[in-house]
Amino acid sequence: QVQLVESGGGLVQPGGSLRLSCQASGRIFGINTMAWYRQAPGKERELVATIASGGGTNYADSVKGRFTISRDNIKQTVSLQMNNLEPGDTAVYSCNAAIRDSLVYRWVNYWGRGTQVTVSS
């Protein structure tokens, strides 16, 4: 059974920084694209950032220049460094990964449970 577990959320003042981490564990034969999503109260879930297995990244326009996604393929982790946080960044942040979880060559989409990030003075 594959699990994704996030950590690092919390309360931070506007302009502050937080670093989120997500650890993949279980029966893993490979990890393809990893990503961070977020969902604010009353809003739809939105894609924040993605990182391919080779390291290529993409960001939502709203976080470009402030957030940085990175991964460690040996440790099977993905992180999100969030700087200059704004109240609009308040949301539950969830980790997502396409994982090969068996000898069959297919990628299965896995999600973490999420971690709360609150930006408030």
* Per-residue confidence (pLDDT) for residue 14, from 0 to 100: 98
Q: Give one DSSP letter per residue of 52-70, joined into a string.
A: -TTS-EEE-TTTTTTEEEE
For residue 114, the model assigns a pLDDT of: 97
Q: What is the pLDDT of residues 8-23, one digit of tens each?
A: 999 999 999 999 999 9
* Selection from 42, 38, 5 nearest residue 117 by Cα: 38
pLDDT tens per residue across span 21-38: 999 999 999 999 999 999
Q: Cα angle at 76 between 75 and 81, to 5 degrees?
A: 90
Buried b (16+ CB within 10 A) or exposed e, 12-32: beeeeebebbbbbeeebeebe
Phi and psi at residue 61, to the nearest 5°: -55, -35
pLDDT over 90 (residue 112): yes
**Per-residue pLDDT at 70 exceeds 90:** yes
Tell me: the pLDDT tens digits for 78-108?
999 999 999 999 999 999 999 999 888 899 9
Confidence of residue 4 (pLDDT cuts 50, 70, 90): very high
3-state helix, strand, coil in the chain (%, to 5): 0, 55, 45
